[in-house]
Structure 1
Amino acid sequence: MAARFELEGTVHQIDDIQTFSSGFSKREFVVEVEDGKFPQMIKFECVKDKTSLTDGLGKGDRVKVHFDIRGNEYKGRYFVNLNAWKIEKSGQGSGGGGFQDFDEGAPPSHLSEPPSGFDAEGDDIPF
């Protein structure tokens, strides 16, 4: 079983859902985490049925993201993804600063599909 992680921050960006010819779909989003003088922009992805996790979120929302780290090799290149499987939104107006669950589902299974748009000859990362 893969290690599970969580991170708290502020939603910075939510991309549109990408659907590929194989039927695979994903949605990427960025969470800003305060880190002293230079905030960190951390990109996550939701895959398959988890793409709807970000539907109730907007830029500036405080969230706690539960995720797994996934890595794979494709044609001699290595890729790492932070796969979100649960997102909790900070409670609004509660004064307690608690988090509200967006999904209680289990983490997705390991993905074996290579990244879409991968060009083995080029230097560009496809995502």
Structure 2
Amino acid sequence: MEIQGKIKMIDETKTYGSNGFRKREVVVTTEEQYPQHIMIEFVQDKTDLLNAFNEGESVKVSINLRGREWVNPQGETKYFNSIQGWRIEKLTAENESAGMPPIPPMDAFEPANELNEEDHDDLPF
């Protein structure tokens, strides 16, 4: 999955536990009628990906949704969700519009010289 928007906040890398688990959070604000502030966490070696980015930049973030179950000491089962980023890239004005890749210019295609209207094609229209 992917999320597009502007970086609202980039947190510092935090280290947890004796094994040195690293986590860094970024908040991306979507640009739609009702903007959403989505917190995305980058973990372990992926935390370094955020070093090249600044607040206010338009980005596209590739994410995975994660969920886990936990039973507390009282025996109650709790569920937690997280959004984990694994790639982030800057958006330019060209590739920002509707998340579509840029359309190649017409001269990027070779002309069809041997066109026979009688030939069968498999196009549905």
2:21 to 20, 24, 40: 24
Secondary structure of 2:94's aligned partner? coil
Report the residue type matching 2:28 in the other structure: V
What's 1:42 paired with?
Answer: 38
What's 1:7 paired with?
Answer: 3
2:66 to 65, 70, 74: 70
- Deviation digits for residues 52-99 of structure 1 (CA, Å, limit 9, x no counterpart): 1110111100000001000111222211111100001124xxx5346x
Structure number with higher helix proportion? 2
Once residues 32 and 80 of structure 2 are traced to their aligned partners in structure 1, the CA distance between those partners, rounded to angstroms, is 25
1:33 to 30, 33, 58: 30
What's 2:119 paired with?
Answer: none
Once residues 67 and 97 of structure 1 are traced to their aligned partners in structure 2, the CA distance between those partners, rounded to angstroms, is 19
What's 1:79 paired with?
Answer: 80
- Deviation digits for residues 78-123 of structure 1 (CA, Å, limit 9, x no counterpart): 11111100001124xxx5346xxxxxxxxxxxxxxxxxxxxxxxxx
Q: Which 4+ runs in 1 deviate beyond 4 A? A: none
Count of aligned pairs:
90
Secondary structure of 1:96's aligned partner? helix
Gaps of 5+ in 1: 99-127
Q: Normalised by the size of structure 1, how large is the TM-score?
A: 0.66
Report the residue type matching 1:90 in the other structure: L
Once residues 25 and 11 of structure 1 are traced to their aligned partners in structure 2, the CA distance between those partners, rounded to angstroms, is 20
CA RMSD after TM alignment: 1.4
Deviation at 1:34, TM superposition (A): 2.1
What's 1:96 paired with?
Answer: 94
Once residues 34 and 61 of structure 1 are traced to their aligned partners in structure 2, the CA distance between those partners, rounded to angstroms, is 12
